Chains A and B, each alone.
Chain A
Amino acid sequence: MPKRFNCLLAVLTMLLVAASAVFAHHSVAGQFDTSKSLTLKGSIAKLQWMNPHIYVYIDVKEADGTVTTWALETLPTAMMRKAGLSKESVMGVPGELVTVLVVPAKDGTKHLGWISKITYADGHYYALGGAGPVQ
């Protein structure tokens, strides 16, 4: 193996070790199955601006015409504030169709998940982690 590559490998390895220390305790994975994701389309029925996590409720119309409400968890309020997001900005326009990339609950609870990304009707989105890099 070329020596320069050895050096590069050493640098990358040490960076990985350092990064893993910083990102340790990534406990979205404690409650949500970060190996899975699903996409929902629906409208925001309710938003609870609360700690330790905000809850967004999405009404999803099923194929048979019935409506299922999903309870979707996301970041704490202070972090949303840091990102310049408010309750109003997350709510969007009343009734608008949103597309949500969701990480499902690890314990199998139905209709419970973590919002990885929410995209609004005009195309703008909020990426909130939990399912790898933003696509």
Chain B
Amino acid sequence: MKNRFLHCIVVTVAVLFAAYAMVSDVNAQAPPKPTPHLADGRPDLNGTWDHGGGIGFVRPQTLPDGSVCVLGCPPAATAAPPRGGNNPPPGARGGRGDAAAAPDAPAARNFPKYKPEFLAKVKDLNDRQVQTDTLLQCQPPGVPRIGPPHKILQNAREVVFLYDDVNGSFFRIIPTDGRPHRKGLPAGYLGDAIGHWEADTLVIETVNFNEETWLIDNGAFHTKDLKVVERLRRVGDTIEYQATAHDPALLVEPWAMRPQALRLTDHELEESARCEDRDLEHIIDGSHHDNPR
């Protein structure tokens, strides 16, 4: 009896582990390769990078007659991989309000810890998300909500992040030569960033945000004093990415996003399509419209 119970537990855990492995971007890492370096000795972050998360677990199927099943597909026993192979384009992230946009559940559970006096505001924003979330109105997602960059350009003086986002194409210029934060800039959605190297890790500090964006879905507002620290470390053909939000006026403790593994891809970025929301007026029951990135 006891053995049967243990066997059942083992089987259950094994099945769950296998299921998790199927949807986990971190588990999709390629075997380690040597980490390339630039002439200045820094790790080479240049390249186009696939996050592999968000909708990455959706596996489109292309059939011999040219049919394509993107969602609601039968088992893929006989299906061919989609054109372009299994390596999704860097911008292939979830849009809004679609099954493809199923959020990465761990991130959704990893919510910032607000001080008690701010919980009512978080709840109110969350309850009225369709009206209050500016991201649903095609505005820039902000940092860290925008997620890791889709493309990185790097030289000895600065690093440039490019984003192919549902809401548009965005960029961030990050000096790495010791320049301080710029003064006199208007507060922005993506803030003002500076970077430095700690051994092989690029550390980016971003400040000077407006208050239009959230840290993540579900009403996670922030103040203008938000500081975001991102850490990027290249290991072979992957980059380990982590972002932590500091907003001590609101948060009990700094909030760390779920670490992500970025994989080098040969899919080049494309100009983002125009973003124009036409959905919100048709959502009549307060249903959530989440936006994993």
Contact = CB atoms under 8 A, between A and B. Distances in A.
Interface of A: 3, 6-7, 10-11, 14-15, 18-19, 21-31, 49-53, 55, 73, 75-85, 105-107, 109, 112, 116, 122-134
Contact of B272 (A6, A51, A85, A125): A51
Q: Is the interface of B mostly helix, strand, loop or mixed?
A: loop
B11 A27 contact: no
A82 B88 contact: yes
Given A82-B84, A82-B92, A106-B284, 4 more contacts: A27-B101, A79-B70, A107-B283, A134-B74
A82 B274 CA distance: 18
Interface of B: 4, 7-8, 11-12, 15-16, 19-20, 23, 55, 57-58, 60, 62-63, 65-74, 82-84, 88-89, 91-103, 105, 108, 138, 164, 166-167, 270, 272-279, 282-285, 287-290
A28 B99 contact: yes
A133 B69 CA distance: 10
Contact of B60 (A51, A76, A84, A107): A84
Contact of A26 (B66, B84, B99): B99
Contacts of B290: 25, 27
Contact of B19 (A3, A18, A112, A132): A18
A127 B288 CA distance: 24
Tell me which of A51, A53, A82, A124 has the highest count of chain B C-beta atoms within 10 A of its own C-beta: A82
B287 A29 contact: yes
A15 B19 contact: yes
Contacts of B65: 122-124
B258 to A, nearest CB: 14
Contacts, number: 203
The 7 closest A-B pairs by CB, nearest first: A129-B71, A30-B287, A76-B95, A84-B83, A82-B92, A83-B60, A7-B8
A79 B273 contact: no
Contacts of B97: 27-28, 30-31, 52-53
B68 A85 contact: yes
Contacts of B99: 23, 26, 28, 129-130
B220 to A, nearest CB: 15
A53 B98 contact: yes
Nearest to B288: A25
A52 B91 contact: no
Given A23-B99, A78-B92, A78-B164, A10 B12 contact: yes
B94 to A, nearest CB: 7
Tell me which of B62, B70, B84 has the highest count of chain A C-beta atoms within 10 A of its own C-beta: B70
B260 to A, nearest CB: 16
